[in-house]
Amino acid sequence: MDKLSQLWRRALFYARRDRFDRELEEEMRFHLELKAEENLAAGTSPEEARYAAERQFGNQTLLQEVSRDMWGVRSIETLFQDLRYGVRTLLKNPGFTLIAVFTLALGIGANTAIFSVVNAVLIKSLPYREPERIFQALRRYPQGLGEAASATKFSFYRQHNQTFESLAACDILGAGVSLLAGDEAHFVSSLQVSADLFPVLGVNPLLGRTFTAAEDQPGGGRVIVISHSLWQRLFNGDRQIVGRTVTLGGAGHTVVGVMPPGFQTRPSAEVWMPLRAVFDVADKGNNYLMLGRIKPGVTPEQAQADLDRVRALMRKDYPEHIGDNETAAIAGYQDRLVGDTKLPLLLLMGAVGFVLLIACANVANLFLSRAAARSKEMSVRAALGAGRLRLTRQLLTESLLLAVAGAVLGLLLAHFGLKTLIAITPDSLPRVSEIGIDPPALLFTLGVAAAAGILFGLAPALDAGRLNLVNALREGSGRTTGSASRARLRSMLVASEIALSVVLLIGASLLLRTFANLRNENLGFDPQNVLTLKISMSDPRYQSTAGTEMFLRRVFERLRELPGVESAAYITTLPTELCPDMLFHIEGRQQNDFEDSNYKHITPDYFRTMAIPLRQGRQFEERDSESGAGVMIVNESFARRFFPNESPIGRHLTIGGNIGPDYADRTREIVGVVGDVREEGVDISSAPMMYVPLAQRTDRLTLLTNKLAPAAIVVKTRQNPLKTEPAMRAAVRSADAAQAVSNLRTMEEVLSWSLARRQFNMLLLSVFAGLALLLSAVGIYGVVSYSVQQRTREIGIRIALGAQARDALWLIIRQGLALTLIGVTLGLVAATALTSLMKTLLFGVSATDPLTFTTIALLLTFVALLACWIPARRATKVDPMTSLRSE
């Protein structure tokens, strides 16, 4: 209370400070008069009396100032004074100001932009209610984590856990579905979710409702919930949509709800359908994600222990459902979503931090060189009584002003930079839609600007504090050489800039080489002139293998009729996309000896379309139909792993075996071996793979597959496949008018999509490294050219005394070279330590790749020498007469 009223009185005072000054002056005058009268009464002459009074009174102005200071507003007034003066000084040197502001804007803008991304992806809470209580349930093995669970397991866990408010499940990957709006079929992404998913995420629908428990039971009726964007796009935001029936995959579905804008599940979808998971001891297919909301007051550790208890319970009753080394684990939903984007983003954040440091060093250097020119001004001010603190403060005010200007321009740069950034952001980066310059980003920018202002302002300010009055005034002709300490400081700054640039450049080159390596990696197939497309198989007519096959056969026939099309084939999922895997048993091996391998279903032309070489045996043929003998083809990795010293051809095995009736399969004979394909991504080495003809897939498996993912089709063309794109769409439509084609991309696009995130990181880091290189080149140029200017007279004397132009050149370059070498050495040492952080992001190149390190060291030395050479050449042109006369 007391403090508050004091504050109030101070504020009141500040508002009336002019009156205060007047009044104080009057009070002093009154005091003096009384004092003079007193002296007069004591018998001195009036003049003397007044003089004595004034003498006794002392310095009236100072007294007045001290009295004012009591109110503590001097600092505010000084601030305004400093600001005014700072603005004037900066405007007087537009060149200096412009360069400084722009340099800072680059540094601050880059930081703001990357921070906005980091904030949206890593820091901001998920747009769900109390997201910190949402956890994903995982399986933990000694080798790592598995995230998929079976419907059976989900049902069991849901029933027996005690720590979750509710536990939900959804597909690992949405299948997508053809939606008929008007008379046009649209491919929309879809996801099966348990009714609990919406309460788990804690989001209420905008219109209508989400699924009821009854609807989530088998036979619960055809109901869907749609996303806000789909509602806007296909139904024009019609509020009467709830309760209406729409045709989805050839069957009528009732829309029961519309979710609010911005709501998304992961995997994302435009249409949500009930999952209808049931407890079925026979079903062991791990096709779902399991996530839940823990009860209030329950710790993650308790929840994990609880799930592990349930796991033990299930293992006791249904041992075949839980792996030998399996334990239950949980992970925060946000951490799971962010996953592997965390490291690259933090890396980029570090990189822009470096860029800002370099920018600060540059501006500090500018300040220091200006400080030399200003030393006279400073000495005069000091001589007139400005305290050391006061001078330091003035300089800091100027640098903060610059920083604020830099921040404003930086925000502008960040705004446009972010637009570009979002445009090139890979779709796989989570939460892209949430990126933007919001209050936290603004606050961050402000903080960065303040820190930068102090950082680059501190060196010159401290330097000014060390001012030696006498020397500065004596030198005073504006041709001061600058103190030795100042020169040392500048050199240190430049050396650090170079060191930072070396680190950034090495980081960027390592990513660049990684990317090149991945690009040149032998994929095991030829992506050239291959077009891929996805077709939703959710139509009831395609729920049998025969139906699916007949439809595809028709599509292939139409496609092959198109000019330029060589072949077309089906595959479960494309290379680099999510790849199913399955247990199998090799006949003749120990009973219950199950192995695991990737597996996909294909139509006979697949290998030809993708140019995957046949190594042994034969390809699939027409005779490998439903009624034919069971056959399969494996890849070389499979042959090597499971038949190390024998030929796999002619061997029999059973796929699926004990997983459940959906997966029960006939015994198959291996009829061929094909080359390895980078199936799980360009950067993941090939794993064993089994290919099974689509025609021999069981109906149950077809049903399941069509529910989990859209069918992928690859088409080999003779020329650029995109030219035939419209014709292909038409061909599919002519095979079935209700079918929508989606994701029509060339195989090369699919591949670069799988590398998109790496490309994103590489691109950004390269831009930052380039920026760093430019800034440090400017930095070293500035220092060297300044030193040439300072040493003109010295060089003039040297030349007059017979030194050659070459000597003068060397004199200057030597200085720059020394700085560069120190900087490069420091940078190499730092890079050795720092690049180990990005080990996991590299491919085919070591984190301390000697070639990269050497190249970058040479590159920087070269650029630095160039930056020295330009001003150094000026030194050789020094005319001794002019330079000596310029005294």
Partner 1 sequence: MGSDAKKTELVPGTLEMLILKTIERNAGPMHGYGIARYIKQISGDVLQVEEGSLYPALQRLAIKGWVKAEWGQSENNRRARLYKLTPAGRKRLKQEVADFERVLEAILRVVQPT
Q: Which stretch binds partner 1 (CB under 8 A): 19-27, 226-234, 479-487, 714-722?
A: 19-27
The distance of closest approach from Cβ of residue 42 to partner 1 in the complex, given in angstroms and rounded to an integer, is 13
* 622, 637, 641, 643, 747 from 646: Cα distances, Å: 28, 13, 11, 5, 35
Question: Is 70 one of the binding residues for partner 1 (CB under 8 A)?
Answer: yes
Cα within 13 Å of Cα(425), Cβ side:
24
Q: Which of 1, 470 has the CB closer to partner 1?
A: 1
Q: Does 132 bind partner 1 (CB under 8 A)?
A: no
Among 10, 541, 729, 733, binds partner 1 (CB under 8 A): 10
Q: Which is nearer to partner 1, 69 or 320 (CB)?
A: 69
User: Does the footprint of partner 1 cover residue 24 (CB under 8 A)?
Assistant: yes
Stretch that binds partner 1, among 30-38, 190-198, 257-265, 773-781 (CB under 8 A): 30-38
Contact 656, 669 (CB under 8 A): no
Using CB under 8 A, pick the residue from 25, 48, 69, 879 that binds partner 1.
69
Is position 11 an interface residue for partner 1 (rule: CB under 8 A)? no
Contacts with partner 1 by CB under 8 A: the residue count is 29
Applying CB under 8 A, among 18, 41, 43, 58 the residue interacting with partner 1 is 58
For residues 486 to 505, the per-residue mask of contacts with partner 1, x marking binding by CB under 8 A and - elsewhere, is --------------------
3-state SS of 338-382 is HHHHHHHHHHHHHHHHHHHHHHHHHHHHHHHHHHHHHHHHHHHHH
- Residues 136, 330: contact at Cβ < 8 Å? yes
298: which DSSP letter?
-
Q: How do beta strands 245-248 and 286-294 pair?
A: unpaired
Which residue of 57, 235, 318, 753 would you call a contact of partner 1, by CB under 8 A?
Answer: 57
Instruction: Return the closest-CA partner of residue 145 out of 156, 136, 154, 153.
Output: 136
DSSP string, 649-703: TT-EEEESTTS-GGG---EEEEEEEE-----S-TTS----EEEEEGGGS-HHHHH
Candidate list 18, 42, 47, 62; residue touching partner 1; CB under 8 A: 62
Q: 3-state DSSP call for residue 180?
A: strand
CB 173 within 8 A of CB 268: no
Binding flag, residue 385, partner 1 (CB under 8 A): no
Segment interacting with partner 1, rule: CB under 8 A, options 69-77, 266-274, 327-335, 534-542: 69-77
CB-nearer residue toward partner 1: 68 or 553: 68
Kindly tell me which of 46 and 661 has the beta carbon lying closer to partner 1: 46
Smaller CB distance to partner 1: residue 7 or 412?
A: 7
Per CB under 8 A, 59 contacts partner 1: yes
Q: Residue 40 interacts with partner 1 (CB under 8 A)?
A: no
- Contact window for partner 1 (CB under 8 A) among 18-26, 449-457, 633-641, 709-717: 18-26
The answer to the question of residue 66 lying near partner 1 (CB under 8 A) is: yes
Q: How far is the CB of 838 from partner 1 (least distance, A)?
A: 58
Cβ proximity to partner 1, 50 vs 374, nearer residue: 50
The residue among 10 and 873 lying less far from partner 1, judged by its C-beta, is 10
Span near partner 1 by CB under 8 A; candidates 49-57, 227-235, 523-531, 784-792: 49-57
Strands 594-602 and 581-586: antiparallel
Q: How far apart are CA 464 and CA 466, in angstroms?
A: 5
Residue 810 found at the interface with partner 1 (CB under 8 A): no
Which residue among 16, 19, 56, 471 contacts partner 1 (CB under 8 A)? 56
Q: In angstroms, how far is the first alpha carbon of the chain from the final one?
A: 67
Identify the residue among 11, 15, 19, 27 touching partner 1 (CB under 8 A): 27
Instruction: Figure out which of the listed residues 11, 34, 79, 851 binds partner 1, where binding follows CB under 8 A.
Output: 34
Stretch binding partner 1 (CB under 8 A), from 34-42, 257-265, 309-317, 467-475? 34-42
Alpha carbons 304 and 327: distance in angstroms, whole number = 10
Shortest distance in whole angstroms from residue 10 CB to partner 1: 7
Task: List the Cα angle 360/363/364 in 5-degree steps.
Answer: 80
CA distance 290 to 135: 9
CB 250 within 8 A of CB 241: no
For position 753 contacting partner 1 by CB under 8 A, the verdict is: no
CA 445/CA 450 separation, integer angstroms = 8
Determine, following the binding rule CB under 8 A, whether residue 51 of this chain makes contact with partner 1.
Answer: no
Query: Shortest distance, CB of residue 51 to partner 1, whole angstroms?
Result: 12
Closer to partner 1 at the Cβ: 30 or 416? 30
**What stretch of H or E contains 399?**
helix 388-424
Query: Hunting for tokens 């940078």 — which residue is that?
Result: 827
Stretch in the footprint of partner 1 (CB under 8 A) among 9-17, 216-224, 347-355, 777-785: 9-17
**6 belongs to the binding site for partner 1 (CB under 8 A):** yes
**Would you count residue 821 as binding partner 1 (CB under 8 A)?**
no
Residue (59 or 719) nearer to partner 1, CB: 59
Write out the two tokens for 241. Answer: 């949509």
The answer to whether the CB of 670 falls within 8 A of the CB of 704 is no
- Strand partners for 585: 594, 654
209 counts as binding partner 1 under rule CB under 8 A: no
- Per-residue CA distances from 189 to 176, 260, 741, 777 (Å): 4, 17, 12, 50
431: alpha, beta or left? (left if phi > 0; alpha if psi -120 to 50):
left
Q: How far is the CB of 371 from partner 1 (least distance, A)?
A: 34
Of 65 and 340, CB closest to partner 1: 65
Determine, following the binding rule CB under 8 A, whether residue 30 of this chain makes contact with partner 1.
yes
Q: Which is nearer to partner 1, 59 or 667 (CB)?
A: 59
The label of the residue with tokens 């996303």 reads: 227
Q: Under the criterion CB under 8 A, does residue 9 sit at the interface with partner 1?
A: yes
> Among residues 10 and 560, whose Cβ is nearest to partner 1?
10
Q: What is the DSSP string of 186-233?
A: EEE-EEEE-TTHHHHHT---SEE----TTTTSTT--SEEEE-HHHHHH
Residues contacting residue 830 through CB under 8 Å, at least 6 positions apart = 499, 502, 503
In the complex, minimum distance from the CB of residue 41 to partner 1, in angstroms, rounded to a whole number: 12
Query: Strand 207-208 relative to strand 184-188: parallel, antiparallel, unpaired?
Result: unpaired
User: Contacting partner 1 (CB under 8 A), which of 17, 31, 315, 873?
Assistant: 31
Q: Which is nearer to partner 1, 30 or 85 (CB)?
A: 30
Match 């501190």 to its residue by tokens.
Answer: 458
Neighbour count for residue 715 (Cβ, 10 Å): 29
Nearer to partner 1, 74 or 129 (CB): 74
Q: Is position 76 an interface residue for partner 1 (rule: CB under 8 A)? A: no
Q: How far is the CB of 40 from partner 1 (least distance, A)?
A: 14
Integer Cα distance of 148 and 191 in angstroms: 15
Interface residues with partner 1 (CB under 8 A) are 2, 5-6, 9-10, 13, 23-24, 26-28, 30-31, 34-35, 38, 55-59, 62-63, 66-71
